[in-house]
Amino acid sequence: AVTPDDRPGGSHAAAGALLKSLREELPWLRGVHLDLSVGEAGEQARAVLAEASGFPVDAEVARRGDRRYVRRLAPLPDPPPRAAPAPSDGFHLLSGGLGGVGGEVAAHLLTEPGTRLLLIGRTALPPEDTWERHLADAGPASARIEAFRRLRRLGEVRYEAADVTDAAQVRAAVRRAADAWEIPLVSVLHLAGAFDERPVRELTPEEWREALAAKVDGAWSLHEVAADHPVTSFVTFSSVNGFFGGAMNAAYSAANAALDDLAARRRREGLPGQSLAWSMWRERGMSLGYQLTSLTEARGYRVLDAQAALRSFDLARTLDLPHLLVGADRTAPWVRSHVLAPVRQVRRTAARVALDEGTDLGALYGAAARAAGPDGTFVLRSAGAANRGAETGGGEELRRLETELATVWCTVLGRDRVGRDENFFDLGGNSLLLVAAQTAVNKALGCELGVVDLFTHPTVRALARHLSAQGTAAPAAPDAASGPAPDAPAPAHSGLERAKQQAERQRAARSARRSAQQRKDRRHG
C-alpha cells in the first residue's frame, strides 16, 4: 500500500517476492510488479511504457499520478512507537508449537506467570500411556512427545490436533480450550509453515499449493477465527525472504510476503496485526543442519541463537509496528542497497573504460557523444601510463589474476566483458551463479576458494587481491623471452594511447586501399 486508501490483496505482495526470487534464479529475467492506481487507460499505458523503457532495477514499483514509488527498508524510529500492554486474562494460541522455533517460543511464553497456551498441529500425539514406548523406540513421534513434555513441565499447556488451514477445526480446538480454562482467546501466534528448497522450474501446481497452504491459508484461517474472540495480539512469523526473495525459495518467499501483507491488512481494518520477518534461528526448525550459515551471514542475514532471537521477540511485541525485519545486517552491501537513504544529486557523470587492442577511437568518441546527449558536454582523458614493472607485490601477477577472474565471470554471467570494479551481484549474479563461479575459479586457478570469499570480495579487483594474498597465482603467461618483433610498434602506455595508435593504423589502411583503388581505376580508364 502506498496511500491510506490503497487496498492491495495478498497476491500483490506474493507476486513481488516471486519476481525477486526469479531474478535470483534466472539471471536473464528482469520482471517488474507494477502497481497502478485506478485511472484513465492512456495514463496507465504511459506508465507501463515508461517503466518498460528503462532497465528494471526494482522488482516492485508503484505509480500514483506523476510519482514513482519503490519499496525500501527503514531503520526503527527513535524512539519507536510502543504498543499498549496486552491484557493477560486469556489464553494464547500458537500454531506450529512443537517445531524447533515454535517449541522455543512456547517455552519462553510459559515462563510468564499465569500463561495458558493452546498449541495446534496437524499430527495428533499418540495416547499418553504409549509415550514411553515411543521414546524408547526413538520413532517419528518421539521428538514431539519430548517437546510437549518439556512444555508441560513449564506451565499450563494443551495440544490439539487440528489442520490450521481448516477454520472449523481451529474453532473447535479453541472452543474446547476456552471451555476447559473458562477464559477467552486473546492472543494468536502463527508459526506453522513448510520449507521446500528447490528451483522454481521444478515446482508443480500441487507443490505450490502445499508450500502456500500452511503459512497463507493457515494465517487466513486464524484471521477468521480471531474475529470471534477478543484478540488483542495477532503475530505471524515470516522470513526476510518475503522482502528480499531468494533463489530456490520462490514459493517460500511468496508465502512469507503474503503473511506480511495480512498484518498490514489487519492494521488497516483497525485490528491488531504484526509480522516478524526473521533471518535465521541457529539450528532451530527449518535451519536445523543447514551447512551454509557463513554464506547466509555474508549475504546480510544474521544467524541468531535462540536467546538473542527471543530477546528480539520480546522487544518486537512491545512495538506498535506491523512489519519488522529481525536479523537483517544493514552493514552488508546486499541489505544496505535496500535501505532508505537520502538521494544524492549527480553533479557529474564519470566513467572508466578499459580499451582492448583494436578499439576504434572514433567509435569511442561516438559512444561518449551519444551518452552525453545533444545538450551535454564530455571530456575524454587518458588515465596515464601504468608502469607495472615498478609495482610492488607482484603487479604483473595481479594483472594476470584479474584477467583470469574476468574471463571466468564473463562465462558464468554470460557477458562480453566485466570491469575490475563491477560488483558480481550488480551484474546479475545470484547465489546459484555464485556457486558456479566458485567452481569455475577453483578449476581455473587450482585454488580452494569458498563461496563466502566471493561474497566478501565481490569485484574482480578485490577478489584478485584476496587470492594473491592467499598465495594463488594465475596460470603462467606465454613465453615472451624472444621479445617483440622488430617492426612492432612501441608499447602503448594507456588504453587511450593504444586506441589512438589503432585509429592511426586504420586510417593508414583506408588510405592505402583508396590509393590502390585509384591506381586500378586509372589502369581500366
CATH label of the domain that carries residue 445: 1.10.1200.10
272 within some domain = yes
The SS3 assignment for 473 reads coil
Do 35 and 153 share a domain, yes or no?
Answer: no
Do 271 and 144 share a domain, yes or no?
Answer: yes
Indicate which CATH number applies to the domain containing 228.
Answer: 3.40.50.720
Do 100 and 218 share a domain, yes or no?
Answer: yes
Do 23 and 131 share a domain, yes or no?
Answer: no
Sort residue 289 into left (φ over 0), alpha (ψ -120 to 50) or beta. left
85 within some domain = no
Asked if residue 326 has pLDDT above 80, the reply is yes
CA 349 remoteness from chain centre? 29
Do 266 and 205 share a domain, yes or no?
Answer: yes
For the ranges 251-260, 468-477, 479-488, the maximum mean pLDDT occurs at 251-260
Number of domains in the chain: 3
**Is the separation of the CB atoms in 145 and 125 below 8 Å?**
yes
Query: Is the dihedral angle over the CA atoms 44, 74, 426, 359 positive or is it negative?
Result: positive
Asked if residue 28 has pLDDT above 80, the reply is no
Do 130 and 264 share a domain, yes or no?
Answer: yes
Identify which has the larger pLDDT, 289 or 404.
404
Going by C-beta distance under 8 Å and a sequence separation of 6 or more, which residues neighbour residue 289?
283
Q: Which domain holds residue 444?
A: 387-469
Question: How confident is the prediction for the chain on average, in pLDDT?
Answer: 83
- Please give the pLDDT value at position 481: 44
Sort residue 98 into left (φ over 0), alpha (ψ -120 to 50) or beta. alpha
- Please give the pLDDT value at position 392: 38
CB-facing half-sphere around the CA of 205: CA atoms within 13 A: 0
356 within some domain = no
275 within some domain = yes
Do 43 and 96 share a domain, yes or no?
Answer: no
DSSP annotation of 157: E
Identify which has the larger pLDDT, 435 or 317.
317
Asked if residue 188 has pLDDT above 70, the reply is yes
Partners of 323 in the β-ladder: 275
122 within some domain = yes
Identify which has the larger pLDDT, 108 or 521.
108
140-166 in b/e form (b: 16+ CB < 10 A) is: ebbbbbebbeebeeebebbbbebbbbe
pLDDT in tens, 217-250: 999 999 999 999 999 999 999 999 999 998 889 9
Do 115 and 219 share a domain, yes or no?
Answer: yes
Do 279 and 319 share a domain, yes or no?
Answer: yes
- Please give the pLDDT value at position 448: 86
Do 65 and 170 share a domain, yes or no?
Answer: no
80 within some domain = no
Task: Return the minimum-mean-pLDDT range out of 161-165, 342-346, 420-424.
Answer: 342-346
Distances (CA, A) of 496 to 176, 353, 417, 488, 493: 81, 9, 18, 18, 8
Do 140 and 277 share a domain, yes or no?
Answer: yes
The mean per-residue pLDDT over the stretch 83-91 comes to 84
- Please give the pLDDT value at position 240: 97
Q: Which of 421, 439, 469 is the last residue of a domain?
A: 469
79 within some domain = no
335 within some domain = no
Do 114 and 64 share a domain, yes or no?
Answer: no
What share of the chain in percent tops pLDDT 70?
Answer: 82
pLDDT in tens, 295-308: 788 888 999 999 99
pLDDT in tens, 338-388: 998 876 665 566 666 666 666 666 677 777 777 766 666 666 665 443 333
